C-alpha cells in the first residue's frame, strides 16, 4: 500500500516520509524516461546514445523505440521511431533534424513491446553537446520525468513528487569557476512551477524548459519539487564541460 502512487501523494501532502518520485513500483511493463535536453542554438549540436534495454536485459527481440521531441514551450515537435537497432544507436540532433530550428527543448525515450517482461525499465542514456564543432561533452540522464504504460500506450509526464507546505532547496554540488555558465532546467510537473534561482524568480509552465546564464559561483534552486536539478554548461573559451547537479 505504501508503494502506490496515491499513497505517495498523501505522504507528500502530509510531509510524512515524502517521495521524490510518484512511481508505483508494483506495476509491470512500464518504460520510464529521463527528461533530456536538445540544443541547436548558438553553434550547438546534440548527440544521443541509447540502447535497446528490452533486448539486452530481457532478450526481447523485435521491440521498437520512440523518441518524442518538444520545444522549450513544451509543444510537441515530432516523434522518431527506431526499429531493429541492434543493441545500441547514435542519433545526431542538429538543425536539419529539428526542421532548421535554432533553439533548445526536451525529448523523451520510450521502449515498446507487446511482451510481458514483468518489470519497469528506465532509460537514462548519454547525451553529448558539441559547441562550435568541438568534441562533445557527454552527460547521462538527469531526472526520470515521464512514464509510459506499455499495455495501454498512455504516457504520464507527472511523476515528480511535490511538497504542499514548504519550498525545497537544491544546491548544485560544484563551486562554479568558469568564464561563463548556463543552466538548462525544465518543469517536470503538470502545473505551473515557481522557481527561485539564486533568489531570482522564474515561472515555468508545464514541461517548459529555460536556458539561464548564472553569474554566481554557487547555484541555489528553490521550488516545491522535492528534486529538480539542472544541466550545467561551463565554458572556457571554446572548451565546454557539461554535467548535472
User: Does residue 238 have a pLDDT over 90?
Assistant: no
Kindly state whether residues 221 and 179 are assigned to the same domain.
yes
Average pLDDT over residues 226-237: 87
C-beta of residue 156 within 8 angstroms of C-beta of residue 146: yes
Record the pTM.
0.89
Instruction: Kindly report which listed range (11-15, 184-188, 197-201, 236-240) carries the lowest average pLDDT score.
Output: 11-15
User: Does residue 73 have a pLDDT over 90?
Assistant: yes
Query: Which residue did the predictor score with more confidence, 2 or 217?
Result: 217
Closest by alpha carbon to 32, among 195, 164, 141? 141
Which of 122, 156, 190 is at the close of a domain? 156
Residue 20 confidence (pLDDT): 72
Average pLDDT over residues 177-197: 89
Average pLDDT over residues 69-81: 95
User: Does residue 1 have a pLDDT over 70?
Assistant: no
C-beta of residue 4 within 8 angstroms of C-beta of residue 24: yes
Query: Which residue did the predictor score with more confidence, 149 or 245?
Result: 149
Residue 51 lies in a domain: yes
Query: What is the span of the domain harbouring residue 36?
Result: 5-156
Average pLDDT over residues 90-112: 94
> Which CB contacts under 8 angstroms, 24+ apart, belong to 20-26?
20/160, 20/161, 20/226, 20/227, 21/144, 21/159, 21/160, 21/161, 21/227, 22/158, 22/159, 22/160, 22/161, 23/120, 23/144, 23/147, 23/159, 25/120
Kindly state whether residues 11 and 123 are assigned to the same domain.
yes
User: Does residue 166 have a pLDDT over 80?
Assistant: no
Kindly state whether residues 29 and 133 are assigned to the same domain.
yes
Give the alpha-carbon dihedral of 205, 145, 211, 216, to 10 degrees. 110
Residue 244 confidence (pLDDT): 85
Kindly state whether residues 152 and 172 are assigned to the same domain.
no
Kindly state whether residues 99 and 65 are assigned to the same domain.
yes
Residue 38 lies in a domain: yes
Per the structure, the count of domains in the chain is 2
Within 10 Å of residue 181's Cβ, how many Cβ atoms?
Answer: 21
C-beta of residue 132 within 8 angstroms of C-beta of residue 236: no
Looking at every residue in the chain, the average pLDDT score rounds to 88
Amino acid at each position: 500500500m505504501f508503494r502506490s502512487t496515491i499513497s505517495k501523494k498523501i505522504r507528500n501532502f502530509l510531509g510524512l516520509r515524502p517521495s521524490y518520485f510518484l512511481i508505483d513500483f508494483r506495476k509491470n511493463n512500464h518504460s520510464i524516461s529521463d527528461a533530456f535536453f536538445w540544443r541547436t542554438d548558438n553553434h550547438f549540436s546534440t548527440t544521443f546514445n541509447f540502447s535497446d534495454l528490452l533486448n539486452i536485459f530481457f532478450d526481447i527481440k523485435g521491440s521498437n523505440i520512440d523518441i518524442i521531441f518538444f520545444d522549450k514551450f513544451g509543444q510537441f515537435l515530432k516523434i522518431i521511431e527506431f526499429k531493429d537497432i541492434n543493441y545500441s544507436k547514435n542519433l545526431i540532433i542538429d538543425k536539419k533534424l529539428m526542421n532548421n530550428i535554432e533553439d533548445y527543448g526536451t525529448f523523451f525515450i520510450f521502449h515498446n513491446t507487446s511482451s510481458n517482461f514483468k518489470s519497469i525499465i528506465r532509460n537514462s542514456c548519454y547525451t553529448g553537446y558539441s559547441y562550435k564543432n568541438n568534441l562533445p561533452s557527454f552527460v547521462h540522464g538527469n531526472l526520470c520525468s515521464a512514464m509510459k504504460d506499455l499495455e495501454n500506450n498512455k504516457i504520464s509526464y507527472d511523476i515528480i513528487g511535490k511538497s504542499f507546505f514548504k519550498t525545497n532547496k537544491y544546491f548544485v554540488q560544484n563551486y562554479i569557476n568558469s568564464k561563463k555558465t548556463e543552466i538548462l532546467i525544465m518543469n517536470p510537473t503538470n502545473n505551473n512551477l515557481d522557481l527561485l534561482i539564486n533568489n531570482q524568480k522564474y515561472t515555468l509552465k508545464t514541461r517548459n524548459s529555460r536556458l539561464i546564464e548564472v553569474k554566481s559561483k554557487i547555484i541555489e534552486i528553490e521550488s516545491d519539487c522535492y528534486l529538480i536539478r539542472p544541466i550545467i554548461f561551463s565554458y572556457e573559451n571554446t572548451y565546454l564541460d557539461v554535467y548535472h547537479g
